[in-house]
Amino acid sequence: MAATNERLREPEKEPRIKRSATRSLSRLWPYVRPVRARFLTAAGVAAVASCMGLVIPLVLKWLVDGPVADREPGGVWLGGALLLGLGVAEAGLFGVRRWLVARPLAFVEASMRADLYRHLQRLPVSFHDRWASGQLLSRATTDLMLLRMFLAFPLTFLVVNGVTVLVGFAILLAQQWTLGLVLLLPAIPLIVLCSVFETRYAVVARTVQDQTGDLTTVVEEGVLGIRIVKGFGRHRSQARAFRALTGRVRSTELHKAGLLATIWALIMTLPELAIGAALVLGTVQVADGDLSAGTLVAFLSTALTLRWPVESLGFLLAMSQDAATATDRFFEVMDEPTAEQSTAEQSTAEQSTAEQSTAEQSTAGQSTAGQSTAPQRSTSRNGTLRTTPQDGLRFEGLEFRYADAPPDAPPVLAGIDLHIRSGETMALVGATGSGKTTLTALVPRLHEPTHGRITLDGRDITTLPRDELRELVAVAFEEPTLFSATAGENVLMGAAGAAEADLVRALQVAQADFVHALPQGADTQVGEQGLSLSGGQRQRLALARAVVGQPRFLVLDDPLSALDVHTEALVEAALRQVLATTTALVVAHRPSTVLLADRVALLSGGRIAAVGTHHQLLGDSAEYRSLMSGIEREEAR
């Protein structure tokens, strides 16, 4: 498991360019823009409330220099009433701010989460092969929670506290400019400290959020693989591995807390020293008669009021860095090109190459202009395919290599040329690792070919909208995937608009009538990944999902591997009726499955080594005979 996690975190380990927190956070603007009016209003209300607190020292100055000095009880009561009114108004305005931002925050978070999920559905399978699900889950939960917290508090109060500090220092300088300059002295050291803190904290914040994603992955794998963990008695070793990972997260969190404690201590100490110096200097000025007692009280009260806006700077910067890191992680996924975008880029590159090739061929073709070379069907990737409307499924010059494969590694598939006639069932046979599953994944465009093309009834699949393509082609994989839904919902996922009659028919074809015996029949929840069902039951439901929409093309990757011999015979008998009305490519590992096909293609070394009927290949291909005899001997055991 640890090795898997390291492999899946490869995208996270790439060196990252030093980024600006402001630039990162500015990418949130498209999500904030629809609710900007309420956010700006909330910020304005908070600024007014905060500045209202700066009026209190002015009231105190009036009280000390006026009613208190003149011993006027009426003025004291009036001053007390003013202070109470200001306090109540300040609290009320902060309450209004919270009310104003509550709904926009929920809207922004929901919009970002919906966009992330929608984008994940559109990303190519190769992306999901490289990324750990726990990393994606942490971005959809923890990171978005950090962004909501940032929008709720730090974003507003960075603005509000900045306005408060500016207004407050303007008041201080107006009251006594010499004392105001004393309080301004820590400004330069604070700016330097905050810059250093921001750089160091950003690295630690990114590390802890990546480690949290790894931790989420381990928990998810431990829960989904609980049968393996218990079956092999590995719960203690898994617990030790988990404790080691949590230990690393704890160490990083402690380092993060240490940085925050250091900057906060320095940010609190410097202003306190400045206030102390201003107090001593102000007291001397009062004693000398250069300053009134009320002015000193007001000055110190204003300075103390500014303590929180200044001292909160470290806390707000830390939350802003966390939010900036969360924003980077969110957009790392959102910036990944979708399958459509990747295809468009590949098509542009191929078109440039094809145009260059066409220009070269046209020059050479002038010398043979008199020859009659018009083929019945063009093989040019950009040419018009002249075929009958029911041409079936074709692979033409197909080559495929995985994006993360070493440059010197041979392609998984090389030069695949195969024609499955309309209405024909072709069995695909080959040794383990020969590329059978990869070839079947190219038909519904779960992966994109490196070179060559695939056509359905003469239409290049890259020219078909993906929705249309996946209505034409249905798939069933060897490893069936079910969702936390009812048995019926899992089957009907295979065809939009399928009716109850289609569900019943599909269950009959897949010999999945066990569904009717479940506690609530087809409405029974099958649990996460269908683990409440047996392997054979899950595979039959996956097969029913593939045939429920009566697709024009059917791609089956060894769909009967988990069935017992009796059930397999029943499924094959029902499946023959479906195969008679569709064009099918079936990956086969058993002779009984091979016999469902009209013809057989032998895949060897990433190439089609032979094509023919089962009996023809038994007579003509030693590799095929060896493969089939080995399977038969294994089944005989």
Higher pLDDT, 67 or 261: 261
Whether the Cβ atoms of residue 541 and residue 518 lie closer than 8 Å to each other: no
Residue 599 pLDDT > 90, yes or no? yes
Which pLDDT band holds residue 493 (cuts at 50, 70, 90)?
Answer: confident
- Give, to the nearest 10 degrees, the angle between helix 154-175 and helix 177-184: 140
Q: Which amino acid is at 243?
A: R
Res 573 pLDDT > 70? yes
- State both tokens at 49: 């409330």
Question: For the chain, first and last CA: distance in Å?
Answer: 33
Tokens of 333: 């996924």
Q: Which H or E element spans position 553?
A: strand 553-557
Residue 67: which pLDDT band, with cuts at 50, 70 and 90?
low
Under 8 Å CB-to-CB from 69, ≥6 apart: which residues? 293, 294
Q: Flag whether pLDDT at 406 surpasses 90.
A: no
Please tell me the predicted confidence (pLDDT) of residue 103: 80
pLDDT of amino acid 345 = 53
Region of 470 on the Ramachandran plot (φ > 0 left; ψ -120 to 50 alpha; else beta): alpha
C-alpha closest to that of 118 among 333, 412, 413: 333
Give the DSSP letter of residue 525.
Answer: B
Structure tokens at 217: 């992955």
The mean pLDDT value for 92-115 works out to: 84
Predicted pLDDT at 115: 93
CA 623, 627, 628, 630 torsion-angle sign: positive
| Cα gap 455→225, rounded to integer Å | 39
Q: Which residues pair with 190 in a beta bridge?
A: none
Rounded to the nearest 10 degrees, what angle do helices 535-547 and 565-579 cross at?
10
Question: For position 377, what pLDDT does the model report?
Answer: 40
Task: Give the pLDDT of residue 231.
Answer: 73
Q: How confident is the model at residue 585 (pLDDT cuts 50, 70, 90)?
A: very high
Does residue 184 register a pLDDT over 60?
yes
Domain 21-339 has CATH 1.20.1560.10: yes
Query: Counting runs of H as helices and runs of E as strands, what totals does the chain give?
Result: 27, 10
Q: Could you count the other beta carbons within 10 Å of the beta carbon of residue 67?
A: 18
Work out the average pLDDT over 24-40: 88
Q: Is the pLDDT of residue 574 over 50?
A: yes
Q: What is the pLDDT of residues 496-554, one digit of tens each?
A: 778 888 888 888 888 888 888 888 888 888 877 777 788 788 888 888 888 888 888 99
pLDDT > 70 fraction of the chain, expressed in percent and rounded: 85
Among the listed residues 601, 580, 271, 245, the one whose alpha carbon sits nearest the alpha carbon of residue 436: 601
Residue 583's DSSP bridge partners are: 553
* Whole-number average pLDDT of the chain: 79
Residues in a beta bridge with 589: none
In angstroms, rounded to a whole number, what is the distance separating the alpha carbons of residues 382 and 460?
A: 10
Inform me whether the pLDDT recorded for 420 exceeds 90.
yes
When pLDDT is averaged across residues 370-383 and rounded to a whole number, the result is: 34
Both tokens assigned to 301: 């009260």
pLDDT, tens digit, for every residue of 440-456?
Answer: 989 988 888 889 999 99
Comparing 69 with 494, the larger pLDDT belongs to 494
The residues spanned by each domain of the chain are 21-339, 393-636
Residue 177: burial class (beta carbons within 10 Å; 0-12, 13-18, 19+)? exposed
Q: Which class for 603: exposed (0-12), middle (13-18), buried (19 or more C-beta within 10 A)? A: buried
Give the span between the Cα atoms of 37 and 42, in whole angstroms: 9
Residues in the chain: 637
Work out the angle between the directed axes of helices 235-287 and 313-334 (0-180°, nearest 10): 140
Q: Which residues pair with 294 in a beta bridge?
A: none
Cα torsion angle, 442, 136, 199, 50, sign: positive
Q: Say if residues 271 and 307 touch (Cβ distance below 8 Å).
A: yes
- Superfamily name and number for 393-636: P-loop containing nucleotide triphosphate hydrolases (3.40.50.300)
